[in-house]
Amino acid sequence: MSNPRVVIVGAGFGGLTAAIELRRAGFEDVAILERGSGLGGTWRDNTYPGAACDVPSHLYSLSYAQRRDWSRLCSPQDEILRYLHEVAREHGVDRLVIPDTEVTACRWDDARAVWIVETAGGATREADALVLATGQLHRPAFPPLPGRERFTGHAFHSAQWDHDYDLRDKRVAVIGTGASAVQLVPEIAPEVARLVVFQRTGNWFLPRRNRAYPRAWRTAIRRLPGLQAWRRRFVFEYGESLTAMIRHPRTAGRLGAARSGAFMRWQLRGHPALRRAVWPDYTFGCKRVLFSSAFLPALARTNVDLVTEPLAQMTPAGPATADGRVHDVDCVIYATGFRTTSFMFPMEVTGAGGASLRETWRDGARAYLGMAVPGYPSMFIMYGPNTNTSGGSILVYLEAQAAYLRQALEHVEAQGAAALDVRPEVATAEDQAVQARFGGTAWTRCDSWYRNASGRVVANWPGYMREYLARTARVDPADFRFLARPEPAGARAGAGPQRRAIFKE
């Protein structure tokens, strides 16, 4: 191997999975540039009370790094972060992480067929391949509330939890009722004096108790051969069944809605007004179905109010709703999600001929199999457009993507090329096929962060995990153009010694 230089941006699950795959295949020159102080990505950032994954850990873990000692069905944030550290260490990729290194721009140099990666502070680094693994959910979104800065109390975002602020006995507002809010509200509700939860849209719920595994179960999973694999398979198929409900809202989806509706009615028995207030007015599965057995009972507490009146502005005392009411609070917690559909990179990306990715994606982000963009040679995206999942584990997708980009780079090596570039007609045909598959599904039946302003679904994969696995299992070299190495090769600044040796051949 000519030892191509691979720069990965982001040391979350995506970046680390890519690095592990490349290192296992013998790619030696891999660096992971990380803006934060350490690895972990979303699991380092999101430390709000109750933060946990709502995908069971037997599937929310890498296939080659299985654990038999998960504390509960859905691991809490600290357990997942610990797992990520352990896996990175076991595979020797923790030492590839260069922390406190914010990438500000990535530019493809046509003449020299390399990526120039610029970091804050002005340093640059060259790469033969670029992997963007900055995730879809890392830039906190705040509602465009007039006067937001006028609030005189304390305020923070759920993804930037202020652990120094004591919520006990305070009057607190939580804005938003998405996946983060439903985890944190039941945790803080018993502590605070008053909690006002602002809901814009109701959600569909399914049960999740998430008690600690009993000792007998933990022993069984440790000792009984095959139980762990069966458990993973079971969760995989459960996830696929959820996708079936979203894909087929008139049939399977009705079963999902009925199950969810029965659960919600049971949870809110004796609270008919609250039940009406939280009831979703859109098709089951259009937005993320939320797994919680604790959120709706928390809303029914005597110290909790649910407000469905739209927010109008922020006043010095607290949020004001459209009916003119000001909700006096000491603290506002924005559980308002992330800036996602604008996709996605906190840096400038410039491809062949000086094209800007922002411009290339002006009608919505798109990438071949979520990973490759025509005109951006040897650039791969982890968790890129149309690879989010509503029913499965994103780690299944990330593993598939890591294997795919590793294969692609092996083809570059085998052909003695400088880089590869997905053919525009191949990418366009795939994009059309992906978009066509959304027709008739629940995803198109409401507004959500999965869709951009024009209604195009930019975040999600339209099918099952097994389909994505099959689609990405093998790289077809015919889908790509291979770029010749420029001359004079030996003069390339910064090229590693092995690479120079190849150029001399």
Per CB under 6 A, residues contacting ligand NAP are 52-55, 137, 143, 158, 175-181, 183, 200-201, 288, 311, 335-338, 449
The nearest distance, CB 498 to ligand NAP, in angstroms, is: 41
Q: What 3-state class would DSSP assign to 334?
A: strand
The nearest distance, CB 454 to ligand NAP, in angstroms, is: 17
Alpha carbon 341 to its chain's center: 12
* Assigned token pair, 232: 């993973």
Q: How many helices (H) and strands (E) does the chain have?
A: 14, 20
Q: What 3-state class would DSSP assign to 183?
A: helix
The nearest distance, CB 193 to ligand NAP, in angstroms, is: 23
Q: Which residue is nearest to ligand NAP (CB)?
A: 178
The nearest distance, CB 304 to ligand NAP, in angstroms, is: 16
**DSSP code string of 123-165:** -EEEESEEEE---SS-SB-----TTGGG--SEEEEGGG--TTS
- Helix then strand then coil, in percent of the chain rounded to 5, is 35, 20, 45
Residue whose CB is less far from ligand NAP, 43 or 503? 43
Residue whose CB is less far from ligand NAP, 156 or 482? 156
The nearest distance, CB 393 to ligand NAP, in angstroms, is: 9
* Assigned token pair, 24: 């296992």
Kindly provide the b/e burial profile for residues 493-502, where b requires at least 16 CB atoms within 10 angstroms of the residue's own CB: eebbeebeeb
Residue whose CB is less far from ligand NAP, 55 or 405? 55
Task: Measure the CA–CA gap between 262 and 253, rounded to whole angstroms.
Answer: 14
Residue whose CB is less far from ligand NAP, 298 or 349? 298
Task: Measure the CA–CA gap between 426 and 477, rounded to whole angstroms.
Answer: 12
Are residues 481 and 420 in contact, defined by beta-carbon separation less than 8 angstroms?
yes
The nearest distance, CB 136 to ligand NAP, in angstroms, is: 8
Task: Measure the CA–CA gap between 371 and 250, rounded to whole angstroms.
Answer: 32
The nearest distance, CB 164 to ligand NAP, in angstroms, is: 21
The nearest distance, CB 359 to ligand NAP, in angstroms, is: 26
Residue whose CB is less far from ligand NAP, 267 or 389? 389
Residue whose CB is less far from ligand NAP, 185 or 357? 185
Residue whose CB is less far from ligand NAP, 2 or 158? 158
Residue whose CB is less far from ligand NAP, 180 or 387? 180
H/E segment holding residue 246 = helix 227-247
The nearest distance, CB 425 to ligand NAP, in angstroms, is: 32
Kindly provide the b/e burial profile for residues 153-184, where b requires at least 16 CB atoms within 10 angstroms of the residue's own CB: bbbbbbbebeeeeebeebbbbbbbbbbbbbbb
Are residues 39 and 11 in contact, defined by beta-carbon separation less than 8 angstroms?
yes
Task: Measure the CA–CA gap between 403 and 455, rounded to whole angstroms.
Answer: 31
Residue whose CB is less far from ligand NAP, 11 or 73? 73
* Assigned token pair, 3: 């030892």
The nearest distance, CB 143 to ligand NAP, in angstroms, is: 3
Residue whose CB is less far from ligand NAP, 376 or 461? 461
Task: Measure the CA–CA gap between 293 and 4, rounded to whole angstroms.
Answer: 49
